[in-house]
Amino acid sequence: MGQDLLQKYVEPTSVTNASPDCERSKGEERPISRIIGFHQDDEGHWVVTLSCGHTQHLRHQPPWQARPWVLDPAQRAQRIGQAFACGWCARQADSATLGR
């Protein structure tokens, strides 16, 4: 019942090599990627796949995270192709700016 804590769990990484979608344009505050798909992780949480190659969990856990649209297949499908601010790309860009 549950995960065997004596076994090492190797979590798949969501960070990949940076793509052109991760680069900022002049005057752009944060890099913008596009949603190219969705899948569920091993625990049933929804994950968005972005054009930059990164993935990000999109959980609906009120009151902390209110994203009821992730539970509806039609609403997820409507979001394909929409702009999405990738947190991984923003982190890499900020680190590069700060010299880290």
pLDDT for 50 equals 94
Strands 55-57 and 46-50: antiparallel
Residue 68 belongs to a domain: yes
pLDDT for 55 equals 93
3 state SS of 83: strand
pLDDT digits (tens, 9 = 90+) for 12-53: 555 445 555 555 555 556 568 999 999 999 999 999 999 999
Residue 20 belongs to a domain: no
**Boundaries of domain holding 63:** 31-98
Q: Are 17 and 9 in contact (CB under 8 A)?
A: no
Q: CA 88, 44, 62: angle at the middle one, nearest 5?
A: 75
Residue 74 belongs to a domain: yes
- Please determine, for residue 63, whether its predicted confidence score (pLDDT) is greater than 50: yes
- Please determine, for residue 64, whether its predicted confidence score (pLDDT) is greater than 50: yes
pLDDT digits (tens, 9 = 90+) for 69-94: 999 999 999 999 999 988 888 876 55
Residue 18 belongs to a domain: no
Q: How many domains does the chain have?
A: 1
Tell me the CATH number at 73.
2.40.50.740
